[in-house]
Structure 1
Amino acid sequence: MHIDLSGKRAIVTGSTAGIGFAIARELAESGAEVTVTGRTQARVDAAIESIKQAATNARVSGVAADLGTAEGCQALIDARPDTDILVNNVGIFGPQDFFEIDDATWQTFFDVNVMSAVRLSRHYARGMKQRDWGRIQFISSESALNIPSEMVHYGMTKSAMQSLSRGLAKVLSGTHVTVNAILPGPTRSEGVLDMLRQAAEKQGISQEALEARFVQENRPSSIIQRLATPEEVAHMCVYAASEQASATTGAALRVEGGIVDTMA
């Protein structure tokens, strides 16, 4: 199968590193004109340069904005009024005892992980509907189904993203605009590797040993028995953005290595 996204415009939020960066790079390699977003201009510029090095003919630009705020989302919309592909990837995570999560933290997680996707999808879906073609993706997580006890606030936001995805797919029923949720499992992204590195240092073991232990102790149902790579998640996203995926909508597309112990 050859996926050609030439002539399509894509926005990937939170795409200066990790899964978002991998998605932006692979969309660009498939011919899409890609907008990278991040909170600082320096990180946006670095991501753009890295993508251009990987794909010589890549058409990629960027917008620096804090998408966890209404003002930041509006800044992106003002800079890029329309798009054909929207990947709602921006998100934050971090383990915290449930009894120590204060109201402000709950609100921050909801604003960044959920409201950014609500605001951007609400805007860009209108244009997609008018043109009768578009692709909207919500990067959720297997934590939306297996709510982690150490990150209840994070799991809640990822469940909300799945609800958004399924509901918006129904709103756009009968059009050629598809809406899907992508569910990665633990992935070797910059943030996850940093978290594991700090834990490994505290325990006095290698990061590789901690990665293996993390899967065995925290995700024992994993079939692949390892962390996925950002590129493996990006492959699913590029397919879901393609013309070939025209009948795939309202779905929760799992890239979590079989952690969720159900065939549904």
Structure 2
Amino acid sequence: MQQRLLESLPTGDVGSLLRGWRDAHRLSQAALAADAEISPRHLSFIECGKSQPSREVLDRLAGAMNMPLRDRNQLLKAAGYAAAYGESHIDGPELAQVRHAIDCILNQQEPYPAFVMNRHWDILWANEAAARVNADVMQGRKPRHANMIRQFFDPGDLRGAVENWHEIAQNLLRHLQELVATHPTDAVAKHLLSEVLQYPDVPAAWRRRVASNPPASMMTTVLRGSAGTYRFFSTITTFGTPWDVTVDDLHIESCFPVDQMTENLCRGLRSPS
């Protein structure tokens, strides 16, 4: 069952929210106005509170900055409008087809692991293959966390089984820093970043985000298990043109074997001899 994973944030005024998002994306007023097809003067007046934006203008501005649906609702509420996008329960009837699609993807990924996560890397569901691999690399111990980043950073969790931990952890941290930098109202992401940096042996150099050094798009995760060594690369699936906040927050990470040994290990776990 999905939990409410975002804290209730103060909305503030619409001008401050827009300015915060614009600054986070390093856009000038002229550049954002051009992308949203409004005048720079109009945008300036909105940001300083001299002009009340219409819903259409807010939609253009949000689209130009690729704001998630949750944040678009927050922007509308700050301007005095009703939220435009609903937030349904993932197990409710409104999202029955979405859940069916998720189940199909998880089942189809067998015998390789797949995880459903929200934008903060909280693991909402995983397939049986993920459970089998996890049990092998954790030597039967239960994970301490239901969050992928915490699992990789906590020495008492998955971290000890990751042979290339420095490489993977640094890349995960870059993803988290990117989320914090580009989503200025996301208090949950900021708290997670602060927490992760407190774990042991996180190099001081990792604490500073370098905009010119973005996260890698493809990496191999190497996990040491009782049955052998697993090497996976991952793909990310998201839902196109989401209409619901819950759906917009989801992504599915599917793991694939890099080599024949990993393929054999995964198939052997499913059908042990």
Q: Decide which structure has the larger Cα Rg and report it.
A: 2
Q: Which has the higher strand share?
A: 1
* TM-score for both structures, normalised by structure 1: 0.28
* TM-score for both structures, normalised by structure 2: 0.27
